[in-house]
Amino acid sequence: MKRNLLAALALGFVLAFRGLATAQAPDPLPSWNDGKAKQSIVAFVAKVTKKGSPDFVSPAERIATFDNDGTLWAEQPMYFQLLFALDRVKALAPQHPEWKDKEPFASLLKGDVTNALAGGEHAMVEIVMATHAGMTTEDFEQVVKDWIATARHPVTKRPYTEMVYQPMLEVLTFLRANGFKTFIVSGGGVEFMRPWTERVYGIPPEQVVGSSVKMRFEMRDGAPLLVRLPEVHFVDDKEGKPVGIQEHIGRRPIAVFGNSDGDLQMLQWATAGRRLRFALYVHHTDATREWAYDRNSNIGRLHKGLDEAQAKGWTVVDMKQDWKVIFPIEKR
């Protein structure tokens, strides 16, 4: 009888300790309100990481891909890489006196961004090619590092690396803590992102997939170099995203995160795979703390993707309702 009493007491202590440990377990997503969006992320990770579960996925196959602009950091009033290119035009102008009379550069130098971009995609490509090419990969990396360290957002006046989304940083950390390998798959330039993504997101250069220019190997003064050419090599946007994933990663992701129609094909392709899959759209609904935009926006338009997400049951984050904070500075 004494043994039974001691066994019962011991079992009680064990159960109490387990209950206390469970109650005190830290919230992996503290910047998220406890709604359907947060619950869907946590539930998915629990299912694919629990051994013996019918939805268990081996660590090697736990691939998660994230768009960058509008998904991991802000993208208004225009894509940050385009703002980088505009700053580069000003810096390079003394070397190009012909730009004073040549569009879209003439308008940019006058501060008329709207007119400069009136030429649409052709104008943007011309600006990017003129400011991103004609140098070695090492030189371009240093230019990006210098810019990201000193440039400020035109509206908030904060460094661009403070315009990242705290809730999404927590998702990245949560996934990696559960055996996921996280990748960026963005329409932005791959060499523009790689110099800073590891420091900001914990995503190393080899796990960044993006658009790229052509490069050429050269020997200069006995030193081997890679030179960036003014020619587009690959556009990692829309239909290009699944192609980029297959070419660079080689595995279909089981979790995908985006915010615009430019990410739709990535979400479609990923969720068409076997086993349990997870797709999430960040819906920009907070005009006070960030920006509110979707179907009619020229930047980060979310129209077809929003309809498909609702039809297929993908998770849609209502930024205003689902996020306690948006930017890391709000936690200070």
Domain boundaries, the chain: 27-78+164-331
pLDDT at 207: 98
pLDDT at 8: 47
Which residues have C-beta within 8 Å of that of residue 215, sequence separation ≥ 6?
A: 137, 226, 227, 228, 229, 233
pLDDT at 10: 47
pLDDT at 20: 44
Model pTM? 0.91
How many Cβ atoms are within 10 Å of 7's Cβ, its own excluded? 10
Rounded to whole angstroms, how far apart are CA atoms 211 and 244? 9
Regions in the chain scoring below 70 on pLDDT? 1-24, 332
pLDDT at 214: 97
Beta strands in the chain (DSSP E): 63-66, 181-189, 208-220, 223-234, 255-258, 278-283, 315-318
How many Cβ atoms are within 10 Å of 312's Cβ, its own excluded? 11
pLDDT at 24: 67
pLDDT at 197: 98
Predicted confidence (pLDDT) per residue in 6-46, tens digit? 454 444 544 444 554 445 679 999 999 999 999 999 999 99
The DSSP 8-state label assigned to residue 152 in this structure reads: B
Q: Any idea which fold 27-78+164-331 has?
A: Rossmann fold (3.40.50)
